[in-house]
Copies of this chain bind each other. A is one copy, B any other.
Amino acid sequence: MNQKTDFLQNGESGTKRILITAGGTSEIIDSVRSITNHSTGRLGKQIAEVFLLKPEFEIDYVTTHQAVLPDEQDRLHLHYIQTTMDLKETLEYLLEKTTYHAVIHSMAVSDFTPESSLPQEPFLQTLYQHLKTDSEVLSSFSNFENLFHQLSVPQTSEKKISSNTDHLLMVLKQNPKIIQRIKQMQPTTLLVGFKLLVGVKKEELLAVATESLKKNSADFVLANDLESITQSQHIGYLVSNTGVIAQGSTKLEIASMIVEAVSKGEG
């Protein structure tokens, strides 16, 4: 089923192209360490499998080497990424090339990526010296880069960070909000976002999901809480701008809800 379908989209033929992201990004600290967002990719896998029960769907599946893959791989095109910047490039490439019926962005994306790190001692020593002698030099800092520059604190850029310090200071900078690129590039696609919180009340979860829906111009957001996810249970609420339109308590129920909403969504 690898026929050329790039020109057959959104109902021009029977084939509908879907983009699914699944798994978790990881950000490189140095050549042996990284910051990993835990996500098994199991929910994305389940969503892909339910889409593939319907012969009209064909899927671009963006994932990581750590995540589980859908069992059904016919009509599934795999694209592997590791970092958030990889993800950005891959999504921009795919969204440029293909018009998608829907984008299901279930990947857990790192909010931050390591920018610099340094041992505690040089930072505090230099800070203290400047405090005693020339505190005015500090008056212009507005961010860490600026502060480090003002203090002339040497930033570590070793291939492998040395362990000869009691404490290490790591400065992380915010990653671009990948999800916002999706509707910017394809205003007509149906966008399903995901909001995972940890240990909050249902009202707060739904409020944050609704906020996320608006901020990212998403059509649907699947709201879920890590503390109500177990091996056999996965509580999720599908939120649209009319409120909660469906809820499920297993990955299969959530996947079915999303596939139904996306199928109807074409109207």
Contacts and interface: CB of A to CB of B under 8 A. Distances in A.
B166 A174 contact: yes
A207 interface: no
Number of copies: 2
B37 A36 contact: no
Contacts of A132: 135
A interface: dominant SS:
mixed
A34 interface: yes
A80 interface: no
Given A159-B199, A171-B169, A124 B108 contact: no
A13 interface: no
A196 B160 CA distance: 10
A29 interface: yes
A29 B36 CA distance: 9
Given A33-B38, A120-B144, A124-B143, A167 B174 contact: yes
Contacts of A31: 198, 226
Given A32-B196, A131-B135, A135-B131, A167 B163 contact: no
Interface in A121-177: 124, 127-128, 131-132, 135, 138-139, 141-144, 147, 159-161, 163, 165-174
A97 to B, nearest CB: 29
B168 A112 contact: yes
A110 interface: yes
Given A124-B141, A144-B120, A165 B171 contact: no
Contact of A167 (B39, B108, B161, B172): B172
A144 B172 contact: no
B147 A198 contact: no
Contact of A34 (B38, B124, B171, B174): B38
Given A32-B108, A37-B33, A144 B169 contact: yes
A171 B160 contact: no
Interface in A23-65: 26, 29-39
B112 A124 contact: no
A131 B151 CA distance: 14
Interface of A: 26, 29-39, 66, 108, 110-112, 115, 120, 124, 127-128, 131-132, 135, 138-139, 141-144, 147, 159-161, 163, 165-174, 196-199, 226
7 contacts: A29-B35, A33-B37, A33-B110, A120-B143, A120-B144, A143-B167, A168-B174
